Amino acid sequence: MVRKGFRNLYTVLIFLFLYAPIIVLIIYSFNESKSRGAFTGFTLKWYQDLFSNRAVISALTNTMIIAVVTTIVATILGTLAAIGIHYSRKGPFKQMALNLNYLPILNPDVVIAVSLIALYRFMGLDFGLSTVLLSHITFCTPYVVLAVLPKLKQMNANLAEAAMDLGAKPMYALRKVIVPEIMPGIVTGALLAFTLSVDDFAISFFTTGHGVQNLSILIFSMARRGINPVINALSTFMLIGFFILLLIINRIGKSEEEEERDL
C-alpha cells in the first residue's frame, strides 16, 4: 500500500514538473500587467489584442501553412520511403538507407541549417517561404520513416502477397492492404512532423528570407525587448487546439479498435 502511494506521488510530481510551466503560461495570459514577475489582476485584453496584432497573425499564418504542407509532403514521402526500406532485401543497401535516415535526426539542427544554406546558395534559390518549406520537409521526413517502420514490422508479411495472389495489382494492394494496416504509424508520423514544424527555430531562422517569419522567429525577436503577453494568449489557444486534436485522434483510434473487435 505504501509502495503504491509512493508510485502515485512520484507520478504526480513528474507530471507537475512537466506541466507547471504551461500552467503558469496560461495563468499569465490573463494577467493585467505586462510583467511576468507578478499577477496584478484578471483581464482578457491580451486575447482581444491577439486578433488585432498583424505581426502575430502573419507569423501564425506562415507557421500553419508551413506546418500543414510539411506534414502532408513529409508524411507521403516518409511513408513511401519506409515501405521501400522495409520491402528491400537485407544487405548493405538497406542498412545504408537506414543509417542515412538516422543522420538528420542525430545531427544538431544548426548543422542541418548551415548545410541547407550552402545547398540553396549552390542552387541559386532565393531565400523565403519556399526555402523554409523545403527545409522543414527535409527535417521532418526521417521522423515519419521512423514512426512507420515499426508498424510495417508488426504487419503480417503475407497480407500484401495474398492480395496480389488473388488478383490485386501492387498499387491496389498498397492502398487497400498495406496503408490501412500501418495507418496508426502514419498518423503518429504526421503528428510528429506537424509538431516539429511548428516548434522548429534553428532551421527556420537560418533558411528564411526578408519579411518571412514564423512564430518561433517572431518570439525570438521579441525576447530581446520583452515578450508581448499576446504570445501567452496565442500559446493558450494553440495548447487547447492541440489538446482537442489529440482527443479527436484518440477517439477515432478507439472507434476503429471497437469496429475490429465487432468484426
Burial track 173-205 (b if 16+ CB lie within 10 A, e otherwise) = bbeebbeebbbbbbbbbbbbbbebbbebebbbb
Which pLDDT value is given to residue 1? 63
Predicted pLDDT of residue 63 = 92
The phi, psi pair for 127, rounded to 5°, reads -75, 135
Residues of the chain with pLDDT under 50: none
pLDDT at position 5: 76
147 burial class (0-12, 13-18, 19+ CB within 10 angstroms)?
A: buried
Asked if 131 and 125 touch (Cβ cutoff 8 Å), the reply is yes
Q: What pLDDT is recorded for position 174?
A: 82
Distances in Å between the Cα of 35 and the Cα atoms of 19, 27, 221, 237 are 21, 13, 18, 20
Single pTM value for the model: 0.84
Greatest Cα-to-Cα distance within the chain, rounded to the nearest angstrom: 71
Map out the domains of the chain with their CATH numbers.
66-228 (1.10.3720.10)
> What are 31's strand-pairing partners?
42
Question: Under a CB-based contact definition with an 8 Å cutoff, are residues 98 and 81 in contact?
Answer: no
Q: Please, are residues 144 and 85 in contact by the beta-carbon 8 Å criterion?
A: no
Helices (H), the chain: 2-28, 45-50, 54-87, 92-106, 109-123, 129-154, 158-165, 170-173, 179-181, 183-199, 202-207, 215-223, 230-262
